[in-house]
Amino acid sequence: MTQKARAIVITGNGTNCEVEAAHACRLGGFDEAVIAHIADILTGGVRLDDFHFLNLTGGFLDGDDLGSAKAQANRLRYARIAGSEEHLLDQLIRFIADGKPILGVCNGFQMMAKMGLLPSLDGTYLNQEATLTFNDCGRFQDRWVYLKVNPDAPSIFTRGIEKGIYLPIRHGEGKFVAASPAVLEQIENRNLSVLKYTDAAYETSVMEFPLNPNGSQNAIAGICDATGLLMGLMPHPEAFVHRTNHPRWTREELPEDGDGLILFRNAAEYVKKNLC
């Protein structure tokens, strides 16, 4: 019998986009989208094994103490499940080994990078090779950006996007920085840079502010791992799933679906085809 496609959105300790993310999962085609507090996972009441798609959402985890999402990254990596010898990391690595997709948005992307889940050039998902740090402009940015999609990237989330998408960003630490020039070169050579800040024509990646709102290296806004099942991005796809989310929806003719919905729809289609 076919299983229900189940998505989980982790909340707690400062997330603030979990409702929107769960809504996007449902709109995208998941049969269930559960919002689970991190405490429920650490006490064993909720297990990642029971889900097919993990959404690590935006917010200000732990007040961005130690740097954006660093405390939560440490928690996911080192915390043990109550009453068990199992660590949360064991569930997470099993989730990845089972071919289940993970999407990290904004704070979630920061966490994935600092845990070592992205870009995971060595395939271990344990070694940090990149970070997201303070915007070059020196302040929080809340604006909409144009994003060019790399057609050669293996990401399952961007399949079917012809040129680019338009999404909002809201962050103070969104500058993508690789650990070394060699790491950055590998990310580019292996087509792991999925999204880049671009102009309105979706043709040329840009370093100039405000089209590139944070000064990210090579204008990188989102990356994936080699499998294409793990992806992180600073812009918020869950914030544009319907035309009324668009800042000019009363003045422009727009499709019913917002640009961000395709990421969740692709995840749901992948899960139903391969895991259910």
pLDDT at 4: 96
pLDDT at 77: 86
Q: Is 266 helix (H, G, I), strand (E, B) or coil?
A: helix
pLDDT at 98: 98
Within-domain flag for 134? yes
> pLDDT digit string (tens) for 128-160?
999 999 999 999 999 999 999 999 999 999 999
Query: Which residues, at least 6 apart from 93, have a Cβ–Cβ distance to it below 8 Å?
Result: 125
- Mean pLDDT of the chain, nearest integer: 95
pLDDT at 1: 54
Within-domain flag for 60? yes
The CA distance from 255 to 275, in Å, is: 30
For residues 43-71, give the mean pLDDT.
Answer: 87
pLDDT at 66: 66
Within-domain flag for 56? yes
pLDDT at 63: 75
Question: In the numeric block, which tokens belong to residue 101?
Answer: 């997709």
**Catalytic residue IDs:** 106, 236, 238
> pLDDT digit string (tens) for 72-104?
888 888 889 999 999 999 999 999 999 999 999
Within-domain flag for 193? yes
Domain that holds residue 268: 6-274
Task: Give the CATH number, domain containing residue 20.
Answer: 3.40.50.880
Number of domain units in the chain: 1
For residues 27-31, give the mean pLDDT.
Answer: 98
For residues 176-180, give the mean pLDDT.
Answer: 98
- Omega of the bond leading into 237 within 30 degrees of 0 (cis): no
Within-domain flag for 164? yes
pLDDT at 13: 87
Among residues of the chain, what percentage have pLDDT more than 70? 99
CA-atom Rg of the chain in angstroms: 17
Burial (Cβ within 10 Å: 0-12, 13-18, ≥19) of residue 200: exposed
Within-domain flag for 1? no
